[in-house]
Structure 1
Amino acid sequence: MVYTWAADTALLMDEKQYEAYYRQIPKWRQEKADRIRMREDRALSVGVWALYQKALRESGLSEKMVFNLSHSGHYVLCSIADTETARTGCDLEKTGIPRLKVARRFFCRSEWDYIQKKASEDERKEAFYRYWVLKESFMKATRLGMKLPLDAFAIRLSEGEDPVLTKKPDTIEGRFYFREYPEPERGFFAAVCSEDPDMAENLRWMTL
């Protein structure tokens, strides 16, 4: 099973709150946050690790278990598998103006066709962000990240069904599954990709 937690880090914009959480994270993570120039991004870096630590305590899962983190806007996301072997990636993206030129140039043709055939601007925006977080989650699950071109793999979206990976490089072994966690009312989309097909149906919201 892959469990996924989310939290709002807005409270960390308060300097006293930030310092309190900063002191609770490991030294190496503190140093990583110190290298970040923007205050909002430092809060996300500290907040996402605080979420991971709290999720471990709540679930009783070991630090040896596979996990992945993501953040955007002022929200953070953490996925933890109850296994040490199932590769897992998660991604969260704040919505804004969809980068349709990026999708047209770098997505697979089938994915771009799905987006552009949507009847309205809002539907095209939703389709873009669904694809964006799904593709990012797969790239993170493979542990290749941005080394994997966006058009090297394809995902099929169908109404009422989970997304399906229809193409991937032969060098990437294993079977991967997806779970979407759309939160349009909060202004973001999120997704998880894992070799474990058993993923929590809903996000677990947590107060930091």
Structure 2
Amino acid sequence: MLLPAQELLNMPVMSLQTGTEIAETVGCVIDPDTLNILAYEINGKSLDEHPAFLKIEDIRELSDIGFIVDSSDEVISLDDIVTHKQLYEAPVQLESMHVIDEQHTKLGKVEQLVMDTQSFRVEQLQVRRPFFKSLSDTSLVIHRQQIIAITPDAIIVRTPTVRESNQSPLEKQPLINPFRGTRPPQPESVKSDRH
């Protein structure tokens, strides 16, 4: 299911072992190369680690009551995510990042990330258009396959192209108003002979 990534922030993290809430999500660590969410930063009174994280593979289920994990043992520290530590320390903030195409045309700024709740992968970017372009298009949706590169300054996407068709262009047809002009013949009325 596709869902705005923001909707999973401030989400409770529930322990199956105790049946209670152990923390809530406050942010996510995204790999800009793959657009995968690697872990959620979590916060809670009962946590020993600060900052504390919950890896995606340790989430048993995402339900209407929040993230469900086996126990508080799933909570890790920053030192435990060694391979992705730099993504937390120098994160790439995709929200409000400029989006340009290959021709360096400014398309807008990222307004929202849309993720797949099964794979925890960013699937779409909702882009807020610049003022003058927003008069005709208020937002633009860019699929992950259109993204070429993510730099510290901008997200570069493929330039949209219009496919040419092999059909000949439509010839101009005169406008025919069905309510004007000749009327189709009407049935004749039948007169009854009464004596």
Instruction: Give 1 or 2 for the bigger CA radius of gyration.
Output: 2
Name the one with the larger strand percent. 2
Q: Which structure is richer in relative contact order (CA contacts within 8 A, separation 6 or more)?
A: 1
Name the one with the larger helix percent. 1
Please report the TM-score for the alignment, with normalisation by the length of structure 2: 0.21
Please report the TM-score for the alignment, with normalisation by the length of structure 1: 0.20
